[in-house]
C-alpha cells in the first residue's frame, strides 16, 4: 500500500534520512523507533507528503505522492500529530467534521455528520460530540484526533487501501491512556487500513506493532517483527544504554535498562555530578547500605 523507496532527505546539507526503503501493508501496524533526532518525524513528513525527499520516492497504492491532487491524497492518508493546540472553542464534532473537508469542501451533508459520529463511536468518544475540545483531557483530545483522521479517510469504496500516520500519539498520555489508545488503534486495523506509528516507548511498540523499524541517524538499523528486531544488542546500540530483553508470559519482548547510574559509579568512573550528589547524601548512604543486604537475603 505505502511504499518508501530509497528515501533520502538533507537539512543544511546533513543527511537526516539516508536511503530508507520499506513497505506498509494494510492490516498491520509498523512502529518507528529511534532516539531523539534520529529522523523519525522527518520520515513521517516524507511519507505524508509535507516534505519532498531529496532522493527516492513514496508510492501510495502504486501512485507517486506528487502525482496526487492534494485533496485526493487527503482522502487516502491522514495524520495524527503529537499534540494539537487549539485556542478557539470548537466542539468535538466540529473538529471531527474538519476531517471531512477534503470530501465536501466545507459543505457538510448528513452523511458527513453520520461518518463523523461513527468515527467518534469507533474511538469510544461518541458521548463527547457536543463538548468543547478545549475542556477535554489529553487522552480524550488524542482520541478525537484519531476520530478526525478516521473520518478523513472514510470512504464508500472499500477496495481502496488507506493509511494512517501517527507521530508519537502517546507522548502526552499516562501509561493507562497510552495502552488504551494503542488497543484502540489495533482494533481499528482492517484489510484496507494500515498504520505507521512513531513511538518513543519501546515496550509499547513491542506489544502493539506487527513490525518495527529501528532508525538511527536517519539510517535503517533494523526492520522486522518485535521479536526479531528487539535484541539486547540492537536496543543498546540504538539508545546508547545497556539493556536486557525479558519476555512477558505471553511472549512479548520487554526491554529494561541494565546499567544504572549507581552501577557506573561503583565501576569507578565517577562523574562530577555524581560526586556532587554524593557529598550531599552521605547520611543517606548508610541507610542504603543497610538496606542492600536485607534485599539480597530475600
Closer residue to another protein (CB): 136 or 274: 136
Closer residue to another protein (CB): 93 or 214: 93
Shortest distance in whole angstroms from residue 165 CB to another protein = 9
Closer residue to another protein (CB): 84 or 263: 84
Shortest distance in whole angstroms from residue 218 CB to another protein = 20
Greatest pairwise CA separation for the chain in angstroms = 71
Closer residue to another protein (CB): 38 or 75: 75
Cell of 57: 520516492
Closer residue to another protein (CB): 188 or 252: 188
* Residue that is written with C-alpha cell 473538529 in the block: 95
Shortest distance in whole angstroms from residue 26 CB to another protein = 20
Footprint of another protein (CB under 8 A): 48, 50, 69-75, 77-79, 81, 84-91, 93-95, 98-99, 101-102, 105-106, 113, 117, 126-127, 129-130, 132, 134, 152
Shortest distance in whole angstroms from residue 33 CB to another protein = 22
Shortest distance in whole angstroms from residue 168 CB to another protein = 13
Amino acid at each position: 500500500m505505502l511504499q518508501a523507496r530509497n528515501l533520502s532527505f538533507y537539512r543544511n546539507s546533513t543527511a537526516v534520512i539516508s536511503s530508507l526503503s520499506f513497505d506498509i501493508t494494510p492490516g498491520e501496524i509498523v512502529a518507528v523507533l529511534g532516539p531523539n533526532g534520529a529522523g523519525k518525524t522527518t520520515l513521517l513528513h516524507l511519507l505524508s507528503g509535507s516534505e519532498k525527499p531529496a532522493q527516492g520516492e513514496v508510492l501510495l497504492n502504486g501512485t507517486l505522492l506528487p502525482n496526487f491532487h492534494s485533496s485526493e491524497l487527503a482522502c487516502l492518508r491522514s495524520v495524527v500529530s503529537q499534540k494539537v493546540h487549539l485556542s478557539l472553542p470548537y466542539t468535538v464534532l466540529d473538529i471531527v467534521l474538519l476531517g471531512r473537508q477534503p470530501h465536501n469542501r466545507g459543505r457538510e451533508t448528513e452523511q458527513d455528520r453520520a461518518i463523523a459520529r461513527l468515527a467518534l463511536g469507533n474511538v469510544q468518544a461518541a458521548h463527547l460530540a457536543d463538548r468543547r475540545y478545549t475542556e477535554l483531557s489529553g487522552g480524550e483530545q488524542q482520541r478525537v484526533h484519531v476520530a478526525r483522521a478516521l473520518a478523513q479517510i472514510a470512504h464508500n469504496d472499500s477496495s481502496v487501501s488507506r493509511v494512517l500516520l501517527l507521530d508519537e500519539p502517546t507522548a502526552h498520555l499516562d501509561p493507562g491512556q497510552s495502552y488504551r489508545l494503542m488497543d484502540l488503534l489495533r482494533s481499528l486495523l482492517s484489510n484496507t487500513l494500515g498504520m505507521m506509528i512513531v513511538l518513543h516507548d519501546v515496550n509499547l511498540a513491542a506489544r502493539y506493532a506487527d513490525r518495527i523499524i529501528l532508525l538511527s541517524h536517519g539510517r535503517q538499523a533494523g526492520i522486522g517483527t518485535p521479536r526479531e528486531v528487539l535484541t539486547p544488542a540492537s536496543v543498546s546500540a540504538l539508545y546508547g544504554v545497556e539493556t536486557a530483553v525479558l519476555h512477558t508470559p505471553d511472549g512479548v519482548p520487554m526491554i529494561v535498562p541494565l546499567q544504572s547510574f549507581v552501577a557506573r559509579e561503583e565501576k569507578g568512573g565517577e562523574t562530577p555530578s555524581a560526586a556532587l550528589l554524593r557529598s550531599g547524601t552521605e547520611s543517606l548512604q548508610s541507610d542504603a547500605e543497610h538496606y542492600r543486604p536485607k534485599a539480597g537475603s530475600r
